[in-house]
Structure 1
Amino acid sequence: MQQAYPQTVIEAWAMDEHRLGLKPIQRRVWAKRGQRPIALVQHRYQ
């Protein structure tokens, strides 16, 4: 690229969505017998 356009300034940009840490999941929750328990997850990223 630099040889094809010698007067042009070339910038390389990159983005990544990275999340640190584990997603907190409650291991034990109360649920009625025969029903699947609901495990709430808090996503702490924007």
Structure 2
Amino acid sequence: MSDKKKSLVICFTPLQMLIAEKIIAQQPSVDLIVIALNNSDKYK
């Protein structure tokens, strides 16, 4: 089993997705879950 720590980011809004994008760029061992109320091609 790996000793690396993983993080989980859950996004509900587009602003949170932008913040998560910056976090993932710095720390690629992050899992991302997006919960969207509306379907939008912009955030796929």
Q: Using structure 1 for the length normalisation, give the TM-score.
A: 0.22
Structure number having the greater strand percentage = 2
Structure number having the greater helix percentage = 2
